[in-house]
Structures are given as C-alpha cells and as structure tokens.
Amino acid sequence: MLRIFPLLAGLPLTWLLLAHAAHAFEVKSCEDANVGVSALVTPAAKFSRTFKDDKISVYEVDMVEPVCCAGGVAIVIPDVEDELGGNKCLAVVGVASVQLDEAVASDEADKGVLLTIPTKQFNEASDSIPGAPMKLRVILAKGSVVAE
C-alpha cells in the first residue's frame, strides 16, 4: 500500500494537467458554429474589442447551452475573397466564458496578429475556474484565423 500511495497521490494533479493541456480550440465559420447576432453578449459595445486599426473586431458570445462550454468569441475580419470588400465572421466556442477585456494582441508582421484571450472553465463547485487561454492567430492578408 505504501508503494502505491505516492503514485496515487500524483494522479489528481496529472489529470488536471492533462485536461488543461488537452483543450484544443476549433475555429469555424459563424454559420457552422451557429453563432448569430442573438449570441452576442450585450451590450455589444461593452463586450467587444477591435485590433489592428479596427480591421479585427472581436465579440464575446454566449450560446446559453450547454452551460459548461457555451462561451467564446466571434471574430469579424475583411473577406479577402469578396470582390465587393465584405467581411467574414469566424467563431470559437467551447468555454464557460472569456475575458475579452483582458485580451492581449501581439502583432508579428510575418505571422499576423496573435490574440491571447483568458478563458474560464465550468466548475460545479463554483461558478467557474481559470481555463487555458484562447490563442488565435489572425492573418489578415489571407483572411484567416487559426487556433494555436
């Protein structure tokens, strides 16, 4: 029993680290993610930010259900394939909530803008706990957003 106990004592920490590292964010079109205007956290002006000379607009979204992972962001960027100069909307959901007001942008000329957005995960014992940061690379020249 004494030989097994040290192994068992480390398991909860191991599970926590694996769960934290295993969270992968997926970027989808807003349409594919079912993110519409009704999913915006209101007032939208308070729960949104712009980056890169207002070319990147990020909105906090809440899909309401499931409670565990209904939060995320909608990102609106210029659509480089649209001849008329329109925009496209991409979304990432899957967390309890995001702290968009604490987001940080790093502009790397050759790679694009890296947005690092703190998140919260659902926890039954309390409302939520800190989650893995959402790291999204916005490449305006390609009109794309990639999760890192």
pLDDT per residue, tens digit, the chain (148 aa), is 444 444 444 434 333 333 444 468 999 999 999 999 999 999 999 999 999 999 999 999 999 998 889 999 999 999 999 999 999 999 999 999 999 999 999 999 899 999 999 999 988 877 778 999 999 999 999 999 999 9
Q: Is residue 89 part of a domain?
A: yes
CB atoms within 10 A of CB 125: 5
Q: Is residue 4 part of a domain?
A: no
Q: Which residues are 27's β-sheet partners?
A: none
pLDDT in the model for residue 88: 97
Sign of CA dihedral 60, 58, 91, 43: positive
Q: Token digits for 29?
A: 């079109």
Q: What's the structural domain count of the chain? A: 1
Q: Is residue 142 part of a domain?
A: yes
pLDDT in the model for residue 139: 97
Q: Side chain identity at 111, as an amino acid letter? A: K
> What whole-number distance in Å separates Cα of residue 99 and Cα of residue 116?
10
pLDDT in the model for residue 21: 42
Q: List, in order, residues 6 or more apart from 4 with CB less than 8 Å away.
A: none
Q: Is residue 120 part of a domain?
A: yes
Q: Kindly state the DSSP code that residue 37 receives in the 8-state scheme.
A: G
For residues 40 and 60, is the Cβ–Cβ distance under 8 A? yes
Q: Is residue 61 part of a domain?
A: yes
Q: Is residue 12 part of a domain?
A: no
pLDDT in the model for residue 2: 44
Per the confidence metrics, is the pTM higher than 0.95?
Answer: no
What range does the domain containing 119 cover?
25-147
pLDDT in the model for residue 7: 41
Q: Is residue 118 part of a domain?
A: yes
Q: Is residue 6 part of a domain?
A: no
Q: Token digits for 74?
A: 């909608």
